Structure 1
Amino acid sequence: MTIAKDTKAIQSQIIEAFNFRHATKVFDPKRKISDDQFNTILEAARLSPTSFGFEPFQMLIIQSPQKRELFRDFAWGANGAFNGSAGQLGTASHFVIFLAHTDVNMKHNSEYQQKFMKEVKQLPDDVIGFINQAFQKFQEQDFNIDGARQITDWAGKQAYIALGNTMSVAAQIGIDSCPIEGFEMDKTSQVLEEHFGIDPKVYQPAVMAAFGYRADEPQFDKTRRTMEQMVSWF
């Protein structure tokens, strides 16, 4: 593999993309992301790093308008209630729900993890045994992730790594996005179980995201703390 060496140009493109990106509230419903481009965005999620490499998240791509409407009453961050529009649910080219694995899959020494390490990571038994011990120590002692809620929250953090990468990659190819936490967790989980066959004991919604092309330019300039306010060097 050969990495491009024009680093100054790449750096400029990265910063330009991050300045371009904003939390798009309304997309142009007539413009759709091509399959090729969206597959690149999905690859960014698939290749994202996760703790211990366990990839404890799933992605649901909700393209059916009818199925998107199932979330409208309680997905207040995506239903356009704050701006009098159809919101991201009604206008986005692609709508994604990230699911976090629960303790059923992500408790140390779970059956899921053993199968994952053997079949996906293709690790030998002695390495799997070592990882089991290390992950148990990580959960029980190092990070104190010892309950169902804590384990699901930890898995959700891994989903956020993938979320960030998808939005960054989208911006670099001129596609808009919006992360969405504005939804009622229990009602979302209920709809996922009743209409999508998602077992809430195994998966819980972590975050939503919408992708497409902005209908209008942002009304406000991007504001952030200065580098000096954010970063400390020692």
Structure 2
Amino acid sequence: MNIETKKSDLLATYYFRHATKEFNPTRKISDEDFRFILEAGRLSPSSGGNEPWKFVIVQSSEFRNELAPLVSGAIRSLPTSSHFVIILARKGLTYDSSYILEQQTLIKGMPLEVFKSMQQAYAQFYDDLHLDTERTLLDWSSKQTYLAMGNMMTAAAHIGIDSCPIEGFEMDAVNELLEKKGLLENGQFGLSVMTAFGYRSKEPARAKSRRPLEDIIQFV
């Protein structure tokens, strides 16, 4: 496949994708296709390669019913989607946390002495970004989950599967529900965003619209 075909195929994927508010409840995503979508999330970039996320796939009808009154932004998508994903962000990722140590040395293969030698640089990075409170650390992790979500939605669209990102939810109440079910791993995670996946019940009413490229770019 030549580069022009690759570009054309990818742009077609972006034109196909739209925020699907209601799905066809009779069509289900195959296990193979959904694993492909999850793999796109797993392979997504993150600051320092620290992968500060967890994907909770809500397939239980009982769990969905409990979630429904707390998720105003998914009134139609939650009950009709084939797969509903809650994306959690890892909390407390200080540069000297045990998770960062494990991630950098065991997962990424950085020699321990190299990791230790970089502590001052890590400390400066955190200071520059004002990553000094529980809230700023969670916000930093949460920003990165959106990279994974975007890649998952693009991967889905690339194989003809629809999606919808969801931010309309009661943060505290959903966190309480997730904690009750043991999904936050004793406070290690917090709710970031949700995404519904499935097949559209009807075609979009309008063609995709965006500002012209000239309105949003500036070369300096």
TM-score by length of 2: 0.96
Match of 2:9 in 1: 13
String of CA shifts for 1:178-218, please: whole Å, max 9, x gaps. 00001011001000011244246311110000111000111
Unmatched segments (≥5 aa) in structure 1? 80-86
Match of 1:137 in 2: 124
Code of the aligned partner of 1:189: N
Match of 1:219 in 2: 205
Match of 2:156 in 1: 170
String of CA shifts for 1:78-131, please: whole Å, max 9, x gaps. 02xxxxxxx11101111001101111xx01201121122222112211221134
Change in Cα spacing, 1:131 to 1:29, as seen in structure 2 (3 Å) is farther
Q: How far apart, in 2, do the equivalents of 1:200 and 1:184 lie?
A: 20
Match of 1:34 in 2: 30
Q: How far apart, in 2, do the equivalents of 1:196 and 1:69 lie?
A: 18
Q: How far apart, in 2, do the equivalents of 1:115 and 1:197 lie?
A: 21
Q: Does 1:22 align with 2:18?
A: yes
Q: Does 1:91 align with 2:77?
A: no
Q: How far apart, in 1, do the equivalents of 2:47 and 2:39 lie?
A: 18
Change in Cα spacing, 1:152 to 1:228, as seen in structure 2 (3 Å) is same
Matches within 5 A, 1:1-234: 4=1, 6-79=2-75, 87-103=76-92, 106-140=93-127, 142-199=128-185, 201-234=187-220
Q: How far apart, in 2, do the equivalents of 1:43 and 1:131 lie?
A: 30
Report sequence identity in percent: 42
Report SS of the residue matched to 1:17.
helix
- Of the structure 1 ranges 180-189 and 192-201, higher mean CA displacement relative to structure 2 is found in 192-201
Q: How far apart, in 2, do the equivalents of 1:211 and 1:196 lie?
A: 24
Change in Cα spacing, 1:233 to 1:197, as seen in structure 2 (3 Å) is closer
Query: Contact conserved, 1:69 with 1:89, CA < 8 A, in 2?
Result: no
Code of the aligned partner of 2:87: F
Query: Contact conserved, 1:45 with 1:162, CA < 8 A, in 2?
Result: yes
> How many matched pairs?
220
Unmatched segments (≥5 aa) in structure 2? none
Report SS of the residue matched to 1:107.
coil
Change in Cα spacing, 1:224 to 1:32, as seen in structure 2 (3 Å) is same
